[in-house]
Amino acid sequence: MHELCWETGSPGELRLPDQSGQMKFYYREGGMSFVTSSIKTDRDTQINFSSDTNVCQLSAQYFIAGDAQICLGTGATYNWRAGTAMLIRADSPGFHLKIGAGQVLRHVCISMHCDYFRERVKTDLSAGIGELFQREKPVDVGIPLRTTEPLKVVANELYNCQMEGELEALRSDLIAKRFLVEALAIYGKDSAEAETDISPVTDRHRDILAKIKRRIEAVPTLGLGELLSQYAAAGTPSFLRHLFQVEYGISMSAFQRNLRLSEARRMLETQDVHVKQVAFASGYSQIGNFTRAYRNQFGEAPSSTRKRVQGY
């Protein structure tokens, strides 16, 4: 395991010492900050970060590409998976990020001091959000979020902001706040539903979820609607999707997409096949959708993977 720390480069930017990636930090009035990352490693790597022990923060994260492990200061460990989102309430000092060799990571994160949030939000909070803010310190907790289309859209919009110039800075601030509000709204809604309608994952459901997971792994292109209809006696499709994310820390659709794209990458690297053939074999009817999903996952176009493997 190659272990290193971020070192400061230009203002607001932290770079890996070997130049294999960067994280850009932008700070705003009242303790709000947002982060974008673009990291590529060729060996197992652990990146250590420091933390302000005097400030408790709440952050909303969306993971655009890559797989990694987030280890918070208290030892709590969470998975970074492409296409997933998470809320993190972190009070204890320090955390680190473990990245496997060959990973390309990209993500956005909005962070706000809890006290600043309480001051700005005067209306009553939902029971779930209120409880999250009122926990006694120190707290390190990560909560998976449903990846809604609005959250995904605003996350990608934020990731692509240039952040330069007064107008662009104002625009990025507005997008950052939209992202945080959307994440909190999802958490608040799901918390309320969990209290009234959704039971904890039982042993029976855990067994069913394992069967669903194995079936997806065996046939990644299988339609999820068709698959879930076979388990109608265990709950509605939305209920089973929710339990799947609670159990495995990733949405069912993102889990399936990761498998499909990983198989596509394997085919491109080991077989002499056209990109269009790989797209269809991976369950994509539109080559443009496949190319976009592949680029988001691996940081390069499928045609670039073919050229790299073929040596030109």
Convert 96-156 into a string of H (helix), E (strand) and C (coil). Answer: EEEECCCCEEEEEEEEEEHHHHHHHCCCCCCHHHHHHHHCCCCCEEEEEECCCHHHHHHHH
Q: For the residues 217-237, what does the mean pLDDT come to? A: 84
Cis bond upstream, residue 138 (ω within 30): yes
Give the list of residues 6+ apart from residue 153 with CB closer than 8 angstroms, or none: none
pTM score of the predicted model: 0.61
Q: For the residues 47-55, what does the mean pLDDT come to? A: 69
- Asked if 275 contacts 170 with a C-beta cutoff of 8 angstroms, the reply is no
Which pLDDT score is estimated for 195?
A: 47
The CA distances from residue 113 to 89, 92, 144, 216, 229, in Å, are 10, 14, 20, 40, 44
pLDDT in tens, 296-306: 888 888 888 88
Which pLDDT score is estimated for 196?
A: 45
- What are residue 39's DSSP bridge partners? 21, 105
Which pLDDT score is estimated for 214?
A: 93
pLDDT in tens, 129-146: 666 666 665 667 777 888
Which pLDDT score is estimated for 51?
A: 63
pLDDT in tens, 251-260: 888 888 889 9
Which pLDDT score is estimated for 159?
A: 87
The superfamily CATH assigns to domain 2-196 is: Jelly Rolls (2.60.120.10)
pLDDT in tens, 170-225: 888 888 888 888 888 887 776 665 544 445 678 888 899 999 999 999 998 888 88
- Asked if 217 contacts 205 with a C-beta cutoff of 8 angstroms, the reply is no
- Residue linked to tokens 């990636």: 21
Question: CA-to-CA distance for 310 and 273, rounded, in angstroms?
Answer: 12
Residue-averaged pLDDT of the chain: 79
Answer yes or no: CATH 1.10.760.10 is held by domain 254-310. no
Which pLDDT score is estimated for 215?
A: 93
DSSP label at residue 62: E
Q: Any idea where the domains of the chain sit in the sequence? A: 2-196, 203-249, 254-310
Confidence of residue 18 (pLDDT cuts 50, 70, 90): low
Question: CA-to-CA distance for 302 and 275, rounded, in angstroms?
Answer: 7
pLDDT in tens, 95-122: 788 888 888 888 988 887 777 776 666 5
